[in-house]
């Protein structure tokens, strides 16, 4: 680990904005350059206090280093709260890495370090974990953590769990999530309609659609997809009317 005493040979530290630009604009940074930036971050509290510099550095450092080394680095950054940095790594990995397992490994490493996740950690985690073969077990574990942290009233997290449970094939758990959302917005309703549709509960999806005070394009698309899957859209007048599709009436002959 690089310490303050080991960086005396370096040139005077550059400004935070210069380092940030270098991290964000350089298509590739060699391990040597990353170590130099790491040394400057350790030696200069002004650099560490820059709210965007540490996350930018970690986004470049973590993909090219073992997870254990990233954990060690986060543990020993002086005077820094590791929680937002870990959350940033989870979000960054979910955005850039198509392998959901990498995101889950970061989340578990965060837990091993004793760092509590926050809402910003759970949102990308829920979004990408549906692709995992053990997605249902992951959903239950993350759900328990959300409950322990007192985030059960968070509408976005509950909607994320609803979607994840539905994709895992557990519609009952998805319905429980929906029932527990205190103020259901159009996003939560759309997610529940899509879940019911995927599991063949067409009439339940239609009833929820009709009860919605406000509908978005996603609401209509979910219902159209629902009926199309069952080949009911063209054959069932009730299906067409329930989603607002009216038969065309020719004006010829009308007075």
Q: What is the per-residue DSSP string for 99-146?
A: -HHHHHHHHHHHHHTTPPP-HHHHHHHHHHGGGSTTHHHHHHHHHHHH
Percent pLDDT > 90 in the chain is 29
| pLDDT tens sequence across 52-86 | 888 888 888 877 666 777 887 787 776 778 888 88
End-to-end CA distance of the chain: 88
189, 183, 181: which is closest to 212 by C-alpha?
189
CA dihedral 66, 68, 70, 75 (to 10 degrees): -170
Q: Per residue in 177-214, pLDDT tens?
A: 999 998 899 999 999 999 998 888 988 998 999 999 88
Give the H/E segment covering residue 177. Answer: helix 171-180
- The stretch 127-156 carries a mean pLDDT of 91
Predicted pLDDT at 8: 44
| pLDDT interval class at 238 (50, 70, 90) | low
> Is residue 7 very low, low, confident or very high in pLDDT (cuts 50, 70, 90)?
very low
Rounded CA-CA distance 134/139 in Å is 9
The continuous run of DSSP H or E covering 111 comes out as helix 100-112
The residue that leads in pLDDT, 75 or 5, is 75
> How much is the pTM?
0.74
State how far the Cα of 93 lies from the Cα of 19, in Å rounded to an integer: 21
Q: Give every CB contact of residue 78 below 8 A, 6+ residues apart in sequence.
A: 42, 45, 48
Chain-centre distance of CA 19, in angstroms?
A: 28
Q: Kindly state the helix (H) or strand (E) to which residue 19 belongs, with its residue range.
A: helix 16-25
Mean residue pLDDT of the chain comes to 80
Phi, psi torsion values for 103, nearest 5 degrees: -65, -45
């Amino acid at each position: 680990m690089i310490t303050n005493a080991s960086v005396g040979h370096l040139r005077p530290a550059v400004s935070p904005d210069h380092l940030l630009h270098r991290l964000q604009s350089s298509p590739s940074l060699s391990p040597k350059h990353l170590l130099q930036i790491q040394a400057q971050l350790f030696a200069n509290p002004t650099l560490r206090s820059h709210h965007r510099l540490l996350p930018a550095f970690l986004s470049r450092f973590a993909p090219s280093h073992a997870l254990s080394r990233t954990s060690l680095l986060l543990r020993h950054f002086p005077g820094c709260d590791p929680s937002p940095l870990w959350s940033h790594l989870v979000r960054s990995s979910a955005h850039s890495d198509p392998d959901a397992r990498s995101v889950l490994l970061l989340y578990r490493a965060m837990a091993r370090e004793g760092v509590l996740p926050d809402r910003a950690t759970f949102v990308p985690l829920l979004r990408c974990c549906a692709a995992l073969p053990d997605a249902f077990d992951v959903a239950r574990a993350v759900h328990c953590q959300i409950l322990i942290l007192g985030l059960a009233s968070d509408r976005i997290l509950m909607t994320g769990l609803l979607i994840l449970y539905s994709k895992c094939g557990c519609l009952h758990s998805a319905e429980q999530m929906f029932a527990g959302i205190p103020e259901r917005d159009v996003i939560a309703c759309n997610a529940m309609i899509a879940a019911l549709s995927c599991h063949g509960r067409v009439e339940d999806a239609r009833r929820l659609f009709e009860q919605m005070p406000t509908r978005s394009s996603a609401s209509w698309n979910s219902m159209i997809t629902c009926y199309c899957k069952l080949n009911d859209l063209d054959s069932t007048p009730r299906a067409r009317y329930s989603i607002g599709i009216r038969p065309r009436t020719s004006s010829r002959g009308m007075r």
